């Protein structure tokens, strides 16, 4: 993996000014009396700005075009199969009685869950003053936005008559009907809608100063106008920073309960119903933990190649990756605990159908899916107990893929096993997807990666302002005489890891 | 675009093209580091200037005190948004499902607090977030696409790696000669005047 990436790098990344060659510095060692630097190498405000802006300013590379066109062609599947679905109706999917919910809701829950890591990184870690978030929050928030776009697509197309999708919203209509506010599916509309809007505001607001940097560096008039409009005339005024920082803090404080509520509300879609295996009180926290788990895995999947190809190893260091791996391991164990707890309660609760539902999950007709889920989600992250493994690029990339797969199967197992074998054995069936299910699932990945490729190309990949702030703080803490601070701290930084 | 002139003290004057009666509207002073800026800001504040500002590539902590900025009103706007969202959310659900079109589903009450909480909560967050973002724009007077600052090429680095103090031409104490001496004395590496 590492060799492969190294070999690919020359065609994949822009002609950066030498910093793309920066070696992997191990800054994960525990120091008893100091903190490891969050930005390694000899970097200051100037080099960080150059490094991040060059990704956007230089001509797209062959590698970028390859990635973009590949994603775009996979996205083309949606262009074919969504009209197909709308024309022929949801009968083109594998859903039927008794399994009336299939890939659409599985994908919806999967993608909403992916988004949660972005908000956790940008909001919750901000409130906890975790400075390491600054290097990864922009990309993670972008991932959130794109994942929620993918998620939002599914409720829109699964309603059967997609042209009536607006009935989900409380809009006055000729029938004088309103939506039913006692339904968790409607809570979902508000939860996901709010989540998307707030995430977008948070992402955009965080980006305004960085867009101003791009505006001030722009040479081409189209770029000047585009970034000029997007940056709203930002001058870095301290009177503005004062209000801005307060607004950012408040948005973080609002996004924190929001992100916890969103997957809780998503879990209500299941938990409020009477279906055995769904009607459990553990669902909200279990879904939230799973969401953060899967989201961090997706952040890892995106950032491991990106830091290499864009020459950002100094900014997204091994320590950042290790921290994320620790969170993946923790949330993976939370999810594993929830799996175990569900079984315990099914036995302890003494409800026959409930007991059956869980035994059927593990040993019934979908046992293969259940054990894929357990081995990917519970077993594979256990490798991160070993430091050597959680600082190994190849291992973490592979585990992140496993977790992505496992978390998709988690939603599949929850949705399908309980429906396919419900209360009436005579109605039991085996749900399997059809062509339109699979192509729309794959096409959603195309949409996600296309948007991500465009983001890499046109928007600042790293929150430059925040990284500058973190570096300034570090320099101030490190150097008793302020004059020598810059050079001293830089050399110490590069020496510290060896 | 604009014409440039440098006087004997090294103060550069940038004049907007086409202005018949150019008058100074802004003075910009560049500083190398945040520490120098901080000291200079204290100095400018103590001179009693009112229409002045610092420009930094990242929020410099302690600069608010050095400049003497008062806490912002923003949290009240956010609170207002949140309160509106919560009460509005509850009232909307009650009116739609219990008053305008009473809607009986599985014998559930037409309106009850617990079933209304999720939507009311989400609307609380949504309107608070609008309050935070919109309030930030409102209090900062954004978007405002033209500012005299943008005439200076040097000022482009204010969003990358340089620190600036700007004094508005409308300040009562604005005086090209005296202010440029003050700012140079406080450690500015370059002083510019923008005229339009």
SS (H, E, C) B148-176: HHHHCCHHHHHHCCCEEEEEECCCCCCCH
Q: How many CB pairs under 8 A join A and B?
A: 200
CA dihedral A415, A278, B93, B132 (to 10 degrees): -70
Neighbours of B122 (CB within 10 A): 27
* Model pLDDT, residue B95: 92
Residue A162: helix, strand or coil by DSSP?
A: helix
Q: Report CB contact under 8 Å: A181, B139.
A: no
Which of B60, B105, B132 has the CB atom closest to A254's CB atom? B132
**Token duo for residue B55:** 């420009």
Collect all residues of chain A within an 8 Å Cβ-Cβ radius of residue B60.
Answer: 238, 241, 472
* Model pLDDT, residue A498: 34
How far out from the chain centre does Cα A293 lie? Answer: 9
Question: A420 CA to chain B: closest CA distance, Å?
Answer: 24
Contacts of B19 (CB under 8 A, 6+ apart): B195, B196
Q: How many helices (H) and strands (E) does chain A have?
A: 19, 0
Which of A183, A190, A240 has the CB atom closest to B122's CB atom? A190
Question: B59 CA to chain A: closest CA distance, Å?
Answer: 6
Q: Please name the residue that has the structure tokens 């075009």.
A: A65
Across the range B165-187, mean pLDDT stands at 86
**Token duo for residue A15:** 């002609």
Across the range B166-181, mean pLDDT stands at 85
Instruction: Determine contact, residues A176/B101, Cβ cutoff 8 Å.
Output: yes
User: What is the distance between the alpha carbons of residues B100 and B93, in angstroms, rounded to a whole number?
Assistant: 10
Collect all residues of chain A within an 8 Å Cβ-Cβ radius of residue B156.
Answer: 216-217
Instruction: Determine contact, residues A11/A303, Cβ cutoff 8 Å.
Output: no
Bridge partners for B106 per DSSP: none
Q: Report CB contact under 8 Å: B160, A216.
A: yes
Collect all residues of chain B within an 8 Å Cβ-Cβ radius of residue A237.
Answer: 53-55, 140, 166
* Model pLDDT, residue A454: 93
Q: Report CB contact under 8 Å: B75, A209.
A: no
- Read off the pLDDT of residues B57-91 as tens digits, 9 standing for 90 and up: 988 888 888 888 888 899 999 999 999 999 999 99
Q: Report CB contact under 8 Å: A472, B129.
A: no
User: What is the distance between the alpha carbons of residues B46 and B23, in angstroms, rounded to a whole number?
Assistant: 26
The closest of A106, A494, A447 to A266, measured between CA atoms, is A106
User: What is the distance between the alpha carbons of residues A247 and A204, in angstroms, rounded to a whole number?
Assistant: 12
Which of B97, B123, B130 has the CB atom closest to A180's CB atom? B97
Q: Work out the mean pLDDT of chain B and round it to a whole number.
A: 87
Q: Report CB contact under 8 Å: B119, A194.
A: no
Question: B89 CA to chain A: closest CA distance, Å?
Answer: 11
* Model pLDDT, residue B156: 87
* Model pLDDT, residue A77: 92
Residue B192: helix, strand or coil by DSSP?
A: strand
User: What is the distance between the alpha carbons of residues B159 and A233, in angstroms, rounded to a whole number?
Assistant: 12
* Model pLDDT, residue A491: 41
* Model pLDDT, residue A19: 44
Residue A44 touches partner B, C-beta closer than 8 Å? yes
Q: CA torsion sign, A276 to A282 to A288 to A289?
A: negative
Which of B61, B69, B119 has the CB atom closest to A181's CB atom? B119
Angle among Cα A291, A135, A472 to the nearest 5 degrees reads: 140
The closest of B48, B96, B157, B174 to A183, measured between CA atoms, is B96
**Token duo for residue A174:** 């000729």
Contacts of B177 (CB under 8 A, 6+ apart): none
pLDDT of B136 above 90: yes
Residues of chain A with pLDDT under 50: 14-19, 481-498
* Model pLDDT, residue A108: 94
Collect all residues of chain A within an 8 Å Cβ-Cβ radius of residue B78.
Answer: 250, 254
Instruction: Determine contact, residues A8/A306, Cβ cutoff 8 Å.
Output: no
Percentage helix, strand, coil for chain A under 3-state DSSP, each rounded to 5: 75, 0, 25
**Token duo for residue B17:** 């093209």
Q: What global pTM score does this model have?
A: 0.89
Collect all residues of chain B within an 8 Å Cβ-Cβ radius of residue A175.
Answer: none
């Amino acid at each position: 993996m590492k060799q492969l990436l190294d070999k690919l790098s020359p065609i994949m990344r822009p002609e950066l000014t030498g910093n793309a060659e920066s070696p992997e510095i191990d800054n994960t060692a525990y120091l008893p009396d100091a903190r490891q630097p969050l930005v390694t190498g000899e970097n200051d405000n100037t080099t960080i700005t150059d490094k991040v802006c060059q990704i956007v300013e230089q001509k797209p590379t062959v590698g970028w075009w390859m990635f973009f066109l590949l994603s775009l062609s996979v996205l083309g599947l949606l262009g074919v199969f969504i009209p197909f679905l709308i024309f022929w109706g949801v009968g083109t999917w594998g859903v039927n009685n008794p399994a009336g919910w299939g890939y659409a809701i599985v994908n919806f829950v999967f993608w909403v869950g992916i988004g949660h890591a972005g908000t956790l990184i940008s909001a919750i870690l901000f409130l906890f003053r975790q400075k390491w978030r600054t290097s990864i929050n922009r990309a993670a928030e972008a991932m959130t936005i794109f994942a929620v776009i993918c998620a939002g697509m599914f409720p829109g197309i699964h309603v059967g008559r997609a042209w009536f999708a607006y009935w989900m919203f409380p809009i006055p209509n000729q029938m004088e009907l309103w939506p039913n506010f006692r339904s968790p599916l409607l809570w979902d509309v508000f939860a996901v809608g709010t989540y998307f809007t707030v995430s977008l505001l948070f992402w955009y607001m965080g980006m305004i100063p960085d867009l101003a940097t791009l505006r001030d560096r722009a040479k081409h008039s189209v770029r000047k106008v585009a970034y000029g409009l997007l940056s709203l005339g930002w001058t870095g005024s301290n009177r503005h920073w004062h209000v801005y920082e307060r607004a950012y803090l408040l948005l973080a404080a609002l996004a924190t309960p929001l992100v916890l509520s969103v997957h809780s509300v998503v879990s209500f879609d299941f938990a409020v119903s009477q279906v055995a295996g769904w009607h459990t009180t553990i669902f909200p926290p279990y879904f939230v933990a799973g969401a953060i788990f899967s989201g961090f895995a997706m952040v890892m999947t995106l950032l491991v190649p990106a830091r290499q190809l864009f020459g950002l190893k100094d900014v997204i260091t091994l320590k950042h990756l290790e921290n994320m791996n620790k969170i993946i391991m923790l949330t993976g164990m939370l999810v594993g605990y929830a799996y175990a707890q569900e079984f315990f309660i099914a036995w302890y609760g003494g409800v026959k159908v409930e007991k059956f539902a869980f035994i059927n999950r593990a040993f019934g007709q979908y046992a293969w899916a259940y054990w894929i889920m357990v081995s990917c989600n519970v077993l594979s992250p256990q490798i991160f107990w070993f430091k050597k493994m959680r600082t190994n690029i190849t291992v973490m990339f592979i585990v992140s893929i496993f977790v992505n797969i496992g978390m998709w199967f988690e939603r599949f197992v929850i949705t399908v096993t309980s429906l396919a074998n419900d209360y009436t054995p005579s109605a039991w069936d085996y749900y399997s997807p059809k062509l339109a299910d699979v192509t729309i699932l794959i096409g959603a990945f195309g949409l996600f990666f296309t948007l991500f490729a465009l983001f890499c190309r046109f928007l600042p990949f790293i929150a430059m302002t925040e990284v500058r702030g973190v570096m300034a703080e570090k320099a101030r803490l490190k150097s008793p005489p302020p004059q020598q601070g810059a050079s001293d701290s830089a050399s110490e930084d590069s020496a510290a890891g060896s | 675009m604009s014409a440039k002139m440098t006087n004997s003290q090294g103060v550069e004057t940038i004049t907007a093209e086409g202005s018949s009666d150019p008058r100074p509207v802004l003075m910009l002073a560049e500083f190398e580091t945040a520490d120098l800026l901080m000291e200079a800001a204290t100095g400018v504040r103590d001179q009693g200037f009112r229409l002045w500002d610092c420009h930094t590539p990242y929020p410099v902590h302690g600069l608010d005190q050095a400049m003497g900025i008062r806490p912002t009103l923003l949290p009240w706007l956010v609170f207002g948004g949140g309160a509106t969202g919560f009460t509005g959310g509850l009232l909307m659900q009650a009116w739609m499902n219990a008053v305008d079109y009473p809607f009986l589903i599985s014998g559930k009450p037409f309106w009850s607090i617990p079933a209304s909480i999720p939507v009311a909560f989400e609307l609380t967050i949504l309107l608070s977030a609008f309050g935070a973002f919109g309030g930030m724009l409102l209090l900062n007077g954004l978007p405002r696409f033209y500012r005299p600052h943008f005439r200076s090429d040097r000022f482009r680095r204010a969003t990358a790696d340089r620190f600036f103090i700007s004094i508005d031409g409308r300040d009562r104490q604005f005086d090209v000669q005296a202010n440029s001496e003050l700012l140079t004395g406080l450690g500015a590496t370059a002083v510019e005047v923008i005229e339009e």
